[in-house]
Structure 1
Amino acid sequence: MTDVFEKAVAELNLDRSDWQLVKFGDVAIQQKQTVDRENTELTRYVKGEHMYSEDIHLREWGELTDEYLGPAFIRKFEEGDILYGSRRTYLRKVVIAPFEGITSNTTFVIKANEEKIDKRLLPFIMLSEGFSQHSIKNSKGSVNPYVNWKDLAGYEFLLPSVEQQTFIADLFDSIDQVLETEKSTYTRLNLNLEANIEAQIHGVELEGKTINQVLDELEKKIEILPLNKLGKIFKGKGITKSEVVETGLPCIRYGELYTKHHRIIRKYHSFITKESASKSIELKKGDVLLAGSGETISEIGKSASFIDEETVYAGSDIIIFRPDNMDERYLGYLMNSILIRQQLNKVGTGATVMHIYGSDIGKIRVPVIGKNKQKEIGDNLEEIFSSITLVKSRENKTITLRKSLINQVF
């Protein structure tokens, strides 16, 4: 389907001879209805953090009973209104409200002037490069820049004829439907992978049980051993930020384990010189790298398995588990399973920065199965992951295509 849209975009030949130069304020109307939160039937609110960059669909929101909201949350929006984050507009937060609710007065609530524009086009105009750059250029402040409505309203662009508006809006709708299908498939496959990880690695029901209860139940079926009985555990050596260069020998830094890698190291983002490498630790195929530090519980102990024969080094605040005889792909999934993550989360310490130590990791209990079975499980899970990668690639391609179309038209 994406190929069909690619062809349509490539062959797009719009006649702009009858397009009109208009201002954004001619086709968009700012809504300023306020809400008394103590006396309203509205139950949902939207914060800036609920809105994703360059995603017109609202996927998160809050209930008024969830938390205290400051006095800025007074702005009412209705289903179909466009919500636009007026602060840090370089984030390009533009969403179509799927219900009525409340937002803050720093989020613009916008209705299309349907006498002049097909309302379906307005969010895409707001995602165009021209609109975004105008908004950024006219923002005020440095730490938390914001744009005023009057500056947005003055943005000028060419508005298609009514007939072309319908054609273009239909094309955008079709691309959006494909994109949402791809996102839905991606989510479903990820859930399938997570379920398969737990089912294939231990096959014990987790719900309603503590992790120790799960391990005790599992121990009745197979052998359970701490990691320090299955290999060696040691710490990486120092690679400072200043030592990272654009090209050189690849290295893994602890922050990358929870920002750029998940389960298995598949590509490299940092490089060091031979001199820096000489004081670091060279990895071996099959090593598992765990983040020794992080700002949250979910970050510490986050790991990825090293599956290559390449020369790669580990930085400081990385803890390395070097197994005696385990399949590297299986290990990548095992160490990120709920069974292991919950154990790791319990041993993290610290306040501002969380830490986990090799001695703690050595006590993590894991199921012991034969290497052939490990390989079989690893291969099965990698097959699902390959499908996820393919779907994500298609999704990214569709996003790029949509951006190209937006900027061709507007």
Structure 2
Amino acid sequence: MSEVMDNKITEIIDGKIDRSKWIKWKFSDLVENIVEKVVPKDSGLDHYIGLKHLDTGSLKIRRYGETESLIGNKLKIYKGDLIFAKRNSYLKRVAIADFDAVASAHSLVLRPKSENVNQDFLPFFMMSEKFWQRAIEISVGSLSPTINWKVLAKQEFLLPPKDQQAQLAKLLWAMDEVIEREKEVLSFEEQLFLSYSKSIFSEGVGNQLELKNIGDLIMGQSPKGSTYNENGVGMPFLQGNAEFGAKNPTHIKYTTAPGKVVKKDTILISVRAPVGDLNIADREYCIGRGLAGIYIENEDLRNYFFNFLKYARLELEKNSTGSTFKAINKDTLSTLKCIIPQDAELKDNSNKLNSILNATELLSKKIISSKSLQKSLINQVF
């Protein structure tokens, strides 16, 4: 980023924003609520943007559905409009459409009123905690809190003059572009991992063995709730992947009646949705029914199989069962097949895969740091 941008970031962080000329606006003075209803199959549009296609904290739309199977009237959204998820408001979802599409009826299609607000600035304002705090406060309903347009339209917000909006928008979009470039590099590294993994795990040479013949499989089982505590009494207890970290878990609970116990260096795998998340036990743990443990004594083989499980995640998800919560059982795991090469090749393959994964991990941390800075700046502005 340029020196000017760096100075502007420092200025915001140090709280040197002059708000004396800021103006109070009703939300309806900033945006127009576009209600153009269409029958998807007759709309001439191929793409559908549902609420599930929106990501919290991101203005980008990276995936979409198709219109051919949709039933009932939907909204039409034009390139440049904002799609705002009015349902389940606590998820804080808003994005910019970069193509014409059909939008969910559980969203609002909003078009900036350029005479009052800079259209590049508005999306970042709508990502701020100041905006979402108000939006969530006016939501109605307990199961799926929903925002009513007429109520939202009346809400008042304090914004900088348009010339300041343009300056801030330039800064925030520059940061967003940095994050997007980092994500592109991360996507490349992930594809490299999958491509190299395919050459090893699907097309490699070696003995094809089932998991039950590679290591010891332990399916988790939760102790009675009355044995739990957070005071450090008993054995550390992991219920599921909620306690997973980048590599090792961080436990909160303990149990005085451990049932299923795994050793240090055991591969931990989530067997309930989301299926396939992985960690390595950094000590002895009691594991609950959301996890399974795979203990492989040989370190090279353990590292190799850990990478195989990353590659095999899609297959595990396909073989999961359940209508409400997807899960995999002991039979699915124990019969999972993996090609095991000779020792020298196995170690070489593991080292190459670990090199790619280390690069991926560093990029992931960098993206998290960049997004955290962007979020902090947005919230300090408002």
Tell me the equivalent position of 1:195. 195
The answer (yes or no) to whether the contact 2:201–2:308 under 8 Å persists in 1 is: no
Aligned partner (choices 26, 29, 42) of residue 26 of structure 1: 29
Q: TM-score normalized by structure 1? A: 0.80
Tell me the equivalent position of 2:230. 246
Tell me the equivalent position of 2:267. 288
Aligned partner (choices 54, 59, 64) of residue 57 of structure 2: 54
Tell me the equivalent position of 1:406. 378
Matched, 1:17 2:36: no
Secondary structure of 1:183's aligned partner: helix
Matched, 1:267 2:249: yes
Greater Cα shift, 367-376 or 52-61: 367-376
Q: Which runs of 5+ in 1 are unaligned?
A: 205-217
Deviations 1:142-177 (A, max 9, x none): 112211112212222222223212211111111111
Tell me the equivalent position of 2:257. 276
- Taking a change above 3 Å as real, the CA distance of residues 304 and 407 of structure 1, as seen in their structure-2 partners, is closer
Deviations 1:207-244 (A, max 9, x none): xxxxxxxxxxx5xx433333333344444454355644
The residue correspondences of 1:85-104 to structure 2 (distance < 5 A) are 85-104=85-104
Q: Percent identity?
A: 27
Question: What is the alpha-carbon distance in structure 2 between the residues aligned to residue 405 and residue 355 of structure 1?
Answer: 40
Secondary structure of 2:253's aligned partner: strand
Question: What is the alpha-carbon distance in structure 1 between the residues aligned to residue 55 and residue 318 of structure 2?
Answer: 31
Tell me the equivalent position of 1:210. none
- Taking a change above 3 Å as real, the CA distance of residues 178 and 26 of structure 1, as seen in their structure-2 partners, is same
Matched, 1:333 2:315: no
> Cα distance, 1:10 vs. partner?
2.4
Q: TM-score normalized by structure 2? A: 0.85
The answer (yes or no) to whether the contact 1:34–1:76 under 8 Å persists in 2 is: yes
- Taking a change above 3 Å as real, the CA distance of residues 346 and 153 of structure 1, as seen in their structure-2 partners, is closer
The answer (yes or no) to whether the contact 1:303–1:335 under 8 Å persists in 2 is: no
How large is the Cα RMSD of the aligned pairs? 3.1
Deviations 1:369-389 (A, max 9, x none): 344443333232222222112
Question: What is the alpha-carbon distance in structure 1 between the residues aligned to residue 154 and residue 215 of structure 2?
Answer: 66
Q: Aligned AA for 1:252?
A: L
The answer (yes or no) to whether the contact 1:288–1:331 under 8 Å persists in 2 is: no
Tell me the equivalent position of 1:312. 285
Tell me the equivalent position of 1:68. 70
> Cα distance, 1:114 vs. partner?
0.7
Equivalent pairs counted in the alignment come to: 376
Q: Which runs of 5+ in 2 are unaligned?
A: none
The residue correspondences of 1:336-347 to structure 2 (distance < 5 A) are 336-338=310-312, 342=315
Tell me the equivalent position of 1:114. 114
Question: What is the alpha-carbon distance in structure 1 between the residues aligned to residue 323 and residue 131 of structure 2?
Answer: 43
The answer (yes or no) to whether the contact 2:38–2:76 under 8 Å persists in 1 is: yes
